[in-house]
Amino acid sequence: MIDRPYVRVDELTQHFPIKRGVVISRKVGAVKAVDGVSFTIRSGETLGLVGESGCGKSTTGRSILRLYRPTSGRVLLDDVDITALKPDELREMRPKMQMIFQDSYSSLNPRHSVAKIVAEPMVIQGEKDGTKLRHRVQELLDLVGLDADHAKRFPHEFSGGQRQRIGIARALALNPSFVVCDEPISALDVSIQAQVVNLLAALQRELGLTYLFIAHDLSMVRHISHRIAVMYLGRIMEQADYDELFRMPMHPYTQSLMSAVPIPEPSVEKARTRMILKGDVPSPARPPSGCVFHTRCPFATERCSFEVPEPREIRDRHAVACHNVDDVFVGSQIEAQRSAIVESLESAAGEGPDRAFASMDTGA
């Protein structure tokens, strides 16, 4: 693998104006959905972007693909700055970058057949040859595990998991190199989630795709990502390789997130160390001063309320945006919290049930 970032996001900011007045509208404020986000993704790898609802993770995905015009910052895809592109130049870039949406009910046109849905990106890009289109549609349906005769059917005839496969086929139609997966599995049942995640992982290996995988489920993200970024209120709190992040969660927010994820193991789930946060996520229209997390952080000091912490590389390829992680006094408390949470998680990993399940795999 080439150690060169394929996708590079620099200080990306996306603000949405809040307007008042019907005839003369004036701007009275801004929702700071994304506020200075930077990361890179290497070719053929997956960055998992995790956060709670309203933290700006989907907006980040959308502004990277220029579905919104970013307020400021740069997005480089294969060394091309796509924030500066003109509309026709942007259309030329589109085949390289595609998106899989969360809600397959609203992202597939109910009046179009599957063939038409999957072929549409190619038609927009100027492919007119009907035979070629038909062949490509068959090829794509086969790739995502759907039958060839499904092409004639309509979206309502499919289950949620199958519909998500149609969305994946459409995203792959133009041979993209970069795909943003915006919570592709959150609307699906557990057993179907596993099917779709396995499919996405297989496609990545086969086609060398680069993913930005957006999710709120830390355990699923761990399963598919090479690197993980944790977002809170428009900012990235912590970023590290996947095993590093789970072994060494340094930011108090990452720790609380990890301790809150339910573990399907009664003995562990009932006894584990939890860090329960007080209150709710503040509104991104009025984010707290200083560190955005300080209102809920059990380790917050005075400094956190006025000075914004910049992400600092504390360990190898592991950046944390927190003033206190390496503080002599507070830092050791955070460290103690970390080891308690990680230990109680690792006990879950050790003691597996007696599932002789290797044989239990009926799916394609």
Partner 1 sequence: MTGDTVLQVRNLAVEFDSIDGTVHAVNNVSFDLKRGQTLGVVGESGSGKSVSMMSLLRLIAEPPGKITSGSAVFLPRNGEPVDLLQLPKRWLARIRGDRIGFVFQDPMSSLNPLMTVGEQIAESVRKHTELQGSVCRDRAVELLEHVGIPGAAERYNNYPHQFSGGMRQRVMIAIAIACNPDIIIADEPTTALDVTVQAEIVDRMQKLTKELSISVIWISHDLGVVAGIADVLMVMYGGSVVERGEISRVYSHPRHPYTIGLLGALPKLGAAQKRLVNIGGSPPSLFSPPRQCAFAARCPWVFDRCKAERPPLFFATGSHSEDPSAHGHVTACFYDLEKDRRRDPDETGIDVTAFEVGQQG
Which residues form the interface with partner 1 (CB under 8 A)? 52-53, 159, 161-162, 189-195, 197-198, 201, 216-220, 222-223, 243, 246, 256-270, 274, 276-277, 280-281, 345-349, 352-357, 359-364
- Give me the least distance between CB of 198 and partner 1, in Å please: 6
Distance CA 193, CA 335 (A): 34
Please say which residue, 328 or 360, places its beta carbon nearer to partner 1.
360
Burial class (CB in 10 A: 0-12, 13-18, 19+), 113: middle
Question: Nearest 10 degrees: CA dihedral of 48, 52, 54, 55?
Answer: -50
Please say which residue, 81 or 142, places its beta carbon nearer to partner 1.
142
- Give me the least distance between CB of 203 and partner 1, in Å please: 14
**Helix 252-260, helix 330-350: angle, nearest 10:** 30
- Give me the least distance between CB of 278 and partner 1, in Å please: 8
User: In degrees, to the nearest 5, what angle opens at C-alpha 247 toward C-alphas 243 and 252?
Assistant: 120
| CA–centroid distance for 306 within its chain | 29
Tell me the one-letter amino acid at 53: S
Tell me the one-letter amino acid at 185: I
Please say which residue, 87 or 262, places its beta carbon nearer to partner 1.
262
- Give me the least distance between CB of 275 and partner 1, in Å please: 9
- Give me the least distance between CB of 170 and partner 1, in Å please: 20
- CA 20 vs CA 148, 310, 358: distances in Å: 52, 33, 60
What's the token pair of residue 157? 């005839």
- Give me the least distance between CB of 264 and partner 1, in Å please: 4
Distance CA 26, CA 63 (A): 24
What's the token pair of residue 47? 């960055």
Nearest CA-CA partner of 97 in 68, 65, 125, 70: 65
Please say which residue, 125 or 283, places its beta carbon nearer to partner 1.
283
User: CB–CB of 212/180 below 8 Å?
Assistant: yes
Residue 27 — φ and ψ, nearest 5°? -85, 125
- Give me the least distance between CB of 239 and partner 1, in Å please: 18
Please say which residue, 9 or 168, places its beta carbon nearer to partner 1.
168
Please say which residue, 73 or 161, places its beta carbon nearer to partner 1.
161
Please say which residue, 131 or 191, places its beta carbon nearer to partner 1.
191
